[in-house]
Amino acid sequence: MRPGSRGTEPVGGRRYGVGVNRTDRLYAIVEELRAVAPRLRTARELAARHGVSVRTVERDISALQQSGVPIYADVGRRGGYALEKSMSLPPLNFTAAEAVALAVAVARAGDGPFAAAGRSALRKILAAMSRQNADAAQQLALRVRLFDTPEAPAPMPIPPEVEQAVVARRVLRIEYLDGTGALSAREVEPVALLHGSNGWYLLAWCRLRDEPRNFRLDRMKRIELTEWTGPEREIDMCRPTEPVHEIRMISLG
């Protein structure tokens, strides 16, 4: 059985086949195998990633092996290709928050300079992280989303208390100035961070109003991180009642 003739469905990702010469594709295949080593990539997965046929991938792998690249084939039930351990990256000691910070930067880059390189680097970092940290990063990434708006938001640092609250689901005690100028004190259970034309928002369950609300960070006049942990809430179940822009998720690869 040919490696990769059976296995999982093609993985998601940008295709590289159109307009990419064979030399670039060979290099990209080696870099992808290096990033995920010692895990396997099936021929089907590589073909889907690079926009070519399975047979083309098999010829590419054969050419790389003949040129001395230490790629081995596993012909077991899963099947696939991998780089020898000596060619792989050791586990990177990135935390989940560090990986998501890079994902936010890459997502905000859009189609700007080095955006593709940024996405490639992010995939390599995630693949080289320990399984525990990579899984934690994937979960944390679900709790950070970006508004799709054409305007460039004014930069504003996110208070560390808010970041910690989103990571650990810690309840916040805040004083908040609403759009009418009224100041109120309330406790909120953070759900996610949202980004839009007016900067960063905190999507949270408001204990005062007993419903989900969006809170603009620049309107928070006092923030206290409590010791209480709020219940786990799905972001799609916490749509605020007030109108909001459409939002998109950030991706970790």
Helix (H) or strand (E) holding 194: strand 183-196
**Distance between CA atoms of 173 and 209, rounded to whole angstroms?**
14
Residues 6+ apart with CB under 8 A from 178: 184, 219
Rounded average pLDDT over 168-195: 93
Q: Is the pLDDT of residue 211 over 80?
A: yes
Amino acid 8: pLDDT: 31
Q: Which pLDDT value is given to residue 229?
A: 93
The mean pLDDT value for 128-143 works out to 84
CA-based Rg of the chain, rounded to a whole angstrom?
A: 22
Ranges of each domain in the chain? 22-87, 96-141, 146-249
- pLDDT > 90: percent of the chain: 31
Residue 227 binned pLDDT confidence (cut-offs 50, 70, 90): very high
Does pLDDT of 176 surpass 90?
yes
Beta-carbon contacts of residue 27 (< 8 Å; ≥ 6 apart): none
DSSP H helices, the chain, are: 22-36, 43-50, 54-66, 96-109, 115-128, 131-141, 160-168
Average pLDDT estimate for 211-230 = 93
With cut-offs at 50, 70 and 90, classify the pLDDT of residue 183.
Answer: very high
Of residues 74 and 210, the one with the higher pLDDT is 210
> What is the residue-averaged pLDDT of the chain?
79
pTM, full prediction: 0.50
Domain 22-87, CATH 3.40.50.300 — does that match? no
Sign of CA dihedral 101, 103, 104, 105: positive
* Geometric angle at alpha carbon 50, from 49 and 56, rounded to 5°: 120
Please tell me the distance from the alpha carbon of residue 209 to that of residue 174, in angstroms, as a whole number: 14
CB burial string 77-99: b at 16+ within 10 A, e below: eebbbbbeeeebeeebebebbeb
Quick one: average pLDDT of 140-153? 74
HSE toward the beta carbon, residue 64, CA cutoff 13 A: 25
Segment 46-90, tens digit of pLDDT: 999 888 999 999 999 998 888 888 898 887 667 799 888 666 556
pLDDT over 50 at 10, yes or no = no
